[in-house]
Amino acid sequence: MQSTKDVIMKGNDFTKTKKISDKNCQKNSTVCDFSTNSLKNTLLISEMNPEIGKYTLGNAKKNNKSTSPSIQKEIIDCFAKEVIKRICDEVKDNVFGLLVDESSDVSLKEQMAVVLRYVDKLGVVKESFIGIAHVKDTSSSSLKQAIVSMLANNQLSISQVSIKFVS
């Protein structure tokens, strides 16, 4: 098997190995970074799980390579959901704190980022990002509604939030 630094490529037919270096990607770095990282991730997953490896990249049939940008984005979204699910499973029924920040994006749409702060089973304090939500406005009621919704979507409750006021 190839290392993750090698990506199986030959045009759209993934049958030949081609080294991907950062030098090759400097002209169009955003697209190349995304594409290269997605292909490296797919290759790594194929190496780590032979069952998946049977159906990806060079072993995939004709146009079923899972390398188009939309498919790569869908795969990354699945990973993100799984990571957030595991974070929320770690919190389970324990109390946690919330770090919430709101701002507007480049198109001036209001959005809110949410981070959970909790203590894991080993007593280590962790802070984990669980998502960004677009909100109508930044009023307290809109932010609360978005927070409650995000927590509910992740099987957490607002009643688990530990509130501490610092003066």
Number of residues that make up the chain: 167
59-72 pLDDT tens trace: 777 666 666 778 77
110-119 and 17-19 beta bridge pairing = unpaired
Domain boundaries, the chain: 6-67, 85-160
- Rounded to whole angstroms, how far apart are CA atoms 115 and 117? 7
DSSP 49: -
Percentage of residues in the chain having pLDDT higher than 90: 35
56-59 long-range contacts (CB < 8 A, ≥24 apart) are 57/8, 57/14, 58/8, 58/14, 58/15
**Amino acid (1-letter code) at residue 141:** S
97-104 and 6-8 beta bridge pairing = unpaired
User: What is the per-residue pLDDT for 19?
Assistant: 41
User: What is the per-residue pLDDT for 22?
Assistant: 42
